[in-house]
């Protein structure tokens, strides 16, 4: 079966040749909440175009805080963030965010929730027909065609998270920031959503920075895995995951990498 292509108006073209390779670059980043020690210090990382990078680390090591700084939701105390080669000071219109909770607005239908990310003031204005096409295509891509008029209260957790994903895709992001987007879902729905995420970002030509503390999730979806840890936090290790997809077809390679990461995670928690 051929993979469906996005409808007219959705991002499907290759980036211009002159565009920088990295969608996102953080250099020498430091951040503290002003109470106690810094959360992280001297963190540098890159996300290339169309790359899926997972940020893995023990609970409380600063992953969500780093993601918020990289997404422009918090200002770094030190260092700088660049998005598509330009300094980033606030969330970029070509980025999108997905969190653990779908955070749908209960008084809006599925369709209007999916369109919601197109209404932000910093989002470029688009024609109504393009907007409708983008939303319809994104909802179809996450398997919710026909449920446009449903209310959030009628959705399962997995369906709500699909709407959140559609809302992000409708923005045609160059980069999707995702903070434990599937951790509230049951195991089967979660596995489905992980595969769907990979399929969709490949189809939309988007890059992803995914925060998780689940090693299996990281190995299943990532092109590259960064391990965060230490106090203050830093990037302690990095793996390029060159296991062919679907990775479930290569259980031995997955198990080997899993052990290696687990060992590094254990060592990081002893630091």
Residues that bind ligand ATP (CB under 6 A): 33, 35, 39, 57, 59-65, 213
Which region among 20-28, 42-50, 61-69, 195-203 touches Mg ion (by CB under 5 A)? 61-69
Cβ at position 82, least distance to ligand ATP in Å: 21
64 in contact with Mg ion (CB under 5 A): yes
Coil, helix or strand at residue 31: strand
Cβ at position 210, least distance to ligand ATP in Å: 12
Cβ at position 123, least distance to Mg ion in Å: 26
H or E element at residue 267: helix 251-270
Residues 6+ apart with CB under 8 A from 152: 102, 104, 105, 106, 108, 110, 113, 160, 163
On whether the CB atoms of residues 219 and 254 are closer than 8 A, the answer is yes
Task: Give which of Mg ion, ligand ATP, none residue 268 binds (C-beta under 5 to 8 Å, depending on kind).
Answer: none
**Strand order in 78-83's β-sheet?**
40-48, 22-31, 78-83, 86-87
Nearer to ligand ATP, 57 or 117 (CB): 57
Which region among 59-67, 83-91, 111-119, 193-201 touches Mg ion (by CB under 5 A)? 59-67
What is the CA 58 to chain-centroid distance, rounded? 18
Q: Note the residues at the interface with Mg ion (CB under 5 A).
A: 64
């Amino acid at each position: 079966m051929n993979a469906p292509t996005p409808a007219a108006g959705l991002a499907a073209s290759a980036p211009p040749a002159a565009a920088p390779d990295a969608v996102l670059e953080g250099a020498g980043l430091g951040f503290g909440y002003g109470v106690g020690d810094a959360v992280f210090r001297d963190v540098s990382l890159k996300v290339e175009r169309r790359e899926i990078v997972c940020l893995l680390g023990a609970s409380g090591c600063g992953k969500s805080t780093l993601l918020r700084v990289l997404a422009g939701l918090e200002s770094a105390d030190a260092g700088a963030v660049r998005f598509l080669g330009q300094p980033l000071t606030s969330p970029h219109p070509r980025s999108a965010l997905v969190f653990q909770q779908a955070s749908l607005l209960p008084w809006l239908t599925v369709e209007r929730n999916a369109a919601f990310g197109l209404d932000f003031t910093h989002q470029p204005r688009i024609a109504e027909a393009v907007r409708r096409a983008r939303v319809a295509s994104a909802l179809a891509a996450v398997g919710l065609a026909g449920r446009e008029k449903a209310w959030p209260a009628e959705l399962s957790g997995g369906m709500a998270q699909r709407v959140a994903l559609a809302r992000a895709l409708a923005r045609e992001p160059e980069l999707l920031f995702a903070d434990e987007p599937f951790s509230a879902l049951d195991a089967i729905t979660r596995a489905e959503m992980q595969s769907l995420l990979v399929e969709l970002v490949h189809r939309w030509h988007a890059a992803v920075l995914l925060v998780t503390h689940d090693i299996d999730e990281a190995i299943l979806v990532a092109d590259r895995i960064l391990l965060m840890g230490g106090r203050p936090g830093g990037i302690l290790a990095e793996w390029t995951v060159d296991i062919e997809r679907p990775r479930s077809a290569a259980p031995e390679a997955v198990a080997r990498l899993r052990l290696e990461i687990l060992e590094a995670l254990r060592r990081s928690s002893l630091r």
